[in-house]
Amino acid sequence: MKVRALVISVVVMLLLASTGWAISLVEAEWLKANLDDKNIRIVDVSNKADAYGKGHIPGAVQVKRYLDLGNTNTVPPTLYPTKEQFEHLMSRLGIEKDTTVVAYDDTYSLFASRLLVIMELYGHDTNKLKLLNGGSVRWKAMNYPMNADSVSVKASQYKVDKMRSELLVTWSDIYRDVVNGAKKDVLLVDVRPAAEYTAKNIRSIRGGYIPKAVNVTGADANKKEDQTFKTKDEIRKMFEEKGVTGDKPIYSYCHSGDRAAHGYVVMKHILGFKNVKFYDGGWAEWASIVSLPADGQVWLWEAPKEEKK
């Protein structure tokens, strides 16, 4: 009987491990059918702050990417918010510990992913974190209702119990583990567009990439026409072609933490890679610390100037 009980316990644990701790995709059809669910908080994280007032999914509250999802008290301000800043945001949005959050945006789920990953970082139950597949782009394509009215909610008193700091890496972690080779099995994945990786598009004092990083443009996991995610097999192939597989520890980075969060969601929660971390400082921070090395480096003033027509 003891052996049988042990076997049953192990099976239950495996089932929980396979389904737990996962940010999941939800479809527009599902959200439309659940718009009146009081346990769901819909959050609009559109790229431009004025997009919300022009139309949003009914009942959605607004999060401003460049004000609410960064630490405006530090440099670069694109770093993820502090615990206190996060608690203030969650409280303002009326989110409780048991609230199911459905996030969406209008830009390949980059900014909605940032919100959900920050929530995961600060310990919100990931089974209650949902990403709207295709965001407002597919929602509009389905001719579902939009509302331009501001939504007010009752504030909560959200408090973080425990931060999951093991998900986050810093520039010093990357320098030690990857550049200096302290952890030779770690794979550094640059999920920026190829033009940024190759310094054809320079958005900092210098262009290029962190040494040893491989480039897989994370947004290529989404279809261009409606911004929904491609199939798992298509996405997996995209990463495997660059040698990115789930049997390796992975550090994800981009320019300023948005694409890194999206890449994290894709690799960890869609593909099921077990060991994925993210660097929120990204190239914006790394490039500004000019003593740090860079491959393919091009200083901003050295970049070819576009000819005036």
| CATH 3.40.250.10 location in the chain | 22-163, 166-302
Q: Dump the DSSP string for 207-257.
A: EEE-TT-EE--GGGGB-TTT--B--HHHHHHHHHTTT--TTS-EEEE-SSS
Report the pLDDT value the prediction gives residue 256, as an integer from 0 to 100: 96
Report the pLDDT value the prediction gives residue 76, as an integer from 0 to 100: 86
pLDDT (tens, 9 = 90+) of the chain, 309 residues, equals: 444 443 333 333 333 333 345 899 999 999 999 999 999 999 999 999 899 999 999 999 999 998 999 998 988 888 999 999 999 999 999 999 999 999 999 999 999 999 999 999 999 999 999 999 999 999 999 999 999 999 999 999 999 999 999 999 999 999 999 999 999 999 999 999 999 999 999 999 999 999 999 999 999 999 999 999 999 999 999 999 999 999 999 999 999 999 999 999 999 999 999 999 999 999 999 999 999 999 999 999 998 887 665
Contacts within 8 Å (CB) and 24+ apart, 224-229:
226/134, 226/137, 226/138, 226/141, 227/107, 227/108, 227/109, 227/134, 227/135, 227/137, 227/138, 228/133, 228/134, 228/138, 229/25, 229/109, 229/133, 229/266, 229/270
Report the pLDDT value the prediction gives residue 305, as an integer from 0 to 100: 81
Which residue in this structure is represented by tokens 């737990």? 20
In DSSP terms, 150 is beta-bridged to none
For residue 278, give the nearest of 303, 299, 306, 250 by alpha carbon.
250
Report the pLDDT value the prediction gives residue 307, as an integer from 0 to 100: 63
Which option is the CATH number for 166-302: 3.90.1300.10, 3.40.1190.20, 3.40.50.300, 3.40.250.10? 3.40.250.10
Which option is the CATH number for 22-163: 3.40.1160.10, 3.40.718.10, 2.130.10.30, 3.40.250.10? 3.40.250.10
Q: How many Å apart are CA 242 and CA 188, to the nearest integer?
A: 11
Instruction: State the amino acid at position 231 in one-letter form.
Output: T
